[in-house]
Amino acid sequence: MRNKNRDLSDEDISKFIGYDLHDNFNVVIEAGSNIPKLQSAEKANLLQLAQVGSLNLDSPQNRLEFNKRMGVVGFDTEVGPDVKRAEWENSVLEDPANVLFGQLFVLADENHAIHKEIHTNRMKEPSFYNLPQEVQQAYLEHNAKHDEQLEMMKSLALQESMATGQPAQMPGLQDEPLRAHGKGISQAMQAQVLGQDGSKLQ
């Protein structure tokens, strides 16, 4: 109060504090003045939910959304491009008028597990069954292409494993299916979502 009313003396300010003004007082609330506090509270809540495993951060989509809400950018180079491409493919598949409809090709080096997760999640939505039959069929055919790539990768990885005696390494293929519940937040991710100076969120 003293910083904002430097033209008043400390004595006047002291008399003002606690004085009953009745109706002779106007209150002005600055637009957006509470946003930083709300954002900090939201981030603290998200961080707490992540720590107990409620956000299913095993899912690439959930992880990207979590980072976005926490203001963490530039850390999605591993799965970010696959998520964006798969979501774009969904938009193409749902528009029969699109010149690429029915002609989407699958890149060999895509993360096919992520693509299948995003396509399948859309197919699980009740609204999916309201789409034209040709759109539904296009989804099935596109997902089948990812299945073919996954089977091919499994076969190649198995052959290499038998030749080298080493465990099979299959890039773009997850070692285990995504779980319904996450395992919480890793120390590395927790460090990313803390303040820039390393201090905890207030």
pLDDT attached to residue 45: 84
Distances in whole angstroms, Cα of residue 68 to Cα of each of 10, 130, 140 = 45, 31, 30
CA distance 55 to 183: 9
Show pLDDT as tens, one digit a residue, over the chain (202 residues).
667 676 777 777 777 766 666 566 666 666 655 555 677 888 888 888 888 888 877 777 777 778 778 777 666 566 788 888 999 999 999 999 998 988 888 988 888 988 998 999 999 999 999 999 999 999 999 999 999 998 988 888 888 888 887 776 655 444 433 333 344 445 555 555 544 444 444 4
SS3 159: helix
Q: Is the pTM of this model over 0.75?
A: no
pLDDT attached to residue 25: 65
Selection from 122, 81, 86, 117 nearest residue 104 by Cα: 86
CA distance 24 to 34: 25
CA distance 149 to 155: 10
Q: Which residue reads 């990812």 in tokens?
A: 146
Positive or negative torsion for Cα 115, 187, 74, 78: negative
Cβ-contact 42, 69 below 8 angstroms: yes
Give the type of residue at 116.
K
List alpha helices for 125-202, DSSP H: 133-164, 187-193
Q: Residue 108, CB half-sphere, CA atoms under 13 Å: how many?
A: 3
**Domain definitions of the chain by residue range:** 10-193
pLDDT attached to residue 182: 42
pLDDT attached to residue 128: 94
What token pair was written down for 95? 């528009």
CA distance 49 to 197: 22
What token pair was written down for 144? 């089948």
CA distance 107 to 80: 15
Cβ-contact 201, 194 below 8 angstroms: yes
Element (H, E) at 55: none
pLDDT attached to residue 196: 44
